[in-house]
Amino acid sequence: MGNIFVVMNPILNGVMKAAGMSSQLVEIEPGTTMHFWVPTKSIHPNNKLPNKSSKPAVVFVHGFVANGIINWLFQVLSLRASRLDFDVYVPDLLFFGDSITTRPERSTSFQAECLAKGMMKLGVEKFSLVGLSYGGMVGFKLAQLYPHMVESMVMSSTVIEMTESISNASLKNIGFTNWPDFLLPKTISGVKVLLSIGSHKLPWLPEFFYKNFHEVMFSNRKEKVELLEALVVSDKDATITPSNYSQRIYLLCGDDDKIFNMAVSDNMKEKLGENATIQYIKDAGHLVQLERPCTYNHYLKEFLSNL
């Protein structure tokens, strides 16, 4: 049998197609291409220019492991199947999935700029952003750089900015001394540690799952190490003033996030001020949207439908 994540690809494509979603490569600039799942209806049959849509758009931004659709499949299918009428977009950030750049920048600002440009090229100038972990940090940056593009934010298992003190404390919580050792495991047992720290309680998974996951999910290793180096900023260089956000922000977190614990999330809510609300999901870890998809989707849809 081949790698399950490769074998599953055509099936995944079929499921997405049935859900009204298509795969699109968007050239941000020469040398920089971002992959998106977009609503099939938004694609013009002849010239591939986007059709303007009047529906509100939701963009799902993934965390540091795997790609957009593996992070958000349950949410995308649930939103598409519900009565809520949203245009759903799922990007792969640069160096994840099929997104790539020849440019040297590795900061969250660069990721945010490319994502914003990609959305503009897709004809979407305003959206709600749902971000997990690294994707949340890119999202907070995007909302800082392009405040008018972001209507509201749902942020999970993340922080506004990865300052050195947050980074040090989080690494200490999980018993690592640097992020690449944890997030870019070199062995199959390293993958088990990663997914087990990421969950409240990791279900039993067959050995080949970890082996196959290890084979395909950690490509562009060198560039990803550079992304992690660029992610951590010294406390005094932190540029985001949390109280600047005028959007409604919904923090949707697991109550057993071992990387960013409840104290970190409560502190973030405090800093974000009156427009932020927080909801904890019971018995869920960092990968809350995968571990408790039904509860997560319930709260997500409730928030989005009240906008």
CB 7 within 8 A of CB 1: yes
Is 277 a binding residue for ligand NAG by CB under 6 A? The answer is: no
Q: How many residues does the chain have?
A: 307
- Pattern 55-94, ligand NAG, x by CB under 6 A: ----------------------------------------
Min separation Cβ 239 and ligand NAG, Å: 8
Which residue in 164, 181, 215, 266 binds ligand NAG (CB under 6 A)?
164
CB 39 within 8 A of CB 122: no
Could you tell me which stretch among 27-35, 37-45, 92-100, 253-261 binds ligand NAG (CB under 6 A)? 37-45
CA gap 200, 283 in Å, rounded? 6
CA gap 99, 35 in Å, rounded? 5
- In the region spanning residues 95 to 154, those forming contacts with ligand NAG, defined by CB under 6 A, are 144
Min separation Cβ 143 and ligand NAG, Å: 9
**Structure-block tokens of residue 16:** 């997405």
Min separation Cβ 58 and ligand NAG, Å: 18
* Residue appearing with tokens 């404390």: 169
Could you tell me which stretch among 111-119, 179-187, 202-210, 243-251 binds ligand NAG (CB under 6 A)? 243-251
Min separation Cβ 246 and ligand NAG, Å: 4
Which residue in 44, 55, 172, 298 binds ligand NAG (CB under 6 A)?
44
Handedness of CA 145, 219, 65, 222 (dihedral sign): negative
Is 274 a binding residue for ligand NAG by CB under 6 A? The answer is: yes
Q: Nearer to ligand NAG by C-beta: 49 or 205? A: 49
Min separation Cβ 228 and ligand NAG, Å: 14
N-term to C-term CA, the chain: 46
Min separation Cβ 14 and ligand NAG, Å: 19
Q: Nearer to ligand NAG by C-beta: 202 or 278? A: 278
Which residue in 82, 196, 219, 243 binds ligand NAG (CB under 6 A)?
243
**DSSP alpha helix (H) spans, the chain:** 4-7, 9-18, 68-81, 108-121, 134-145, 164-174, 179-183, 188-198, 207-216, 221-231, 262-272, 288-291, 293-305
Could you tell me which stretch among 43-51, 109-117, 262-270, 279-287 binds ligand NAG (CB under 6 A)? 43-51
CA gap 258, 296 in Å, rounded? 18
What is the bridge-based pairing of β-strands 21-29 and 87-91?
unpaired
Question: Which has the closest alpha carbon to 291: 264, 261, 252, 249?
Answer: 252
Q: Nearer to ligand NAG by C-beta: 44 or 103? A: 44
Is 275 a binding residue for ligand NAG by CB under 6 A? The answer is: yes
CB atoms within 10 A of CB 304: 19
Judged by the rule CB under 6 A, the positions of this chain that interact with ligand NAG are 41, 44-45, 51, 144, 164-165, 168, 235, 241, 243-246, 273-275
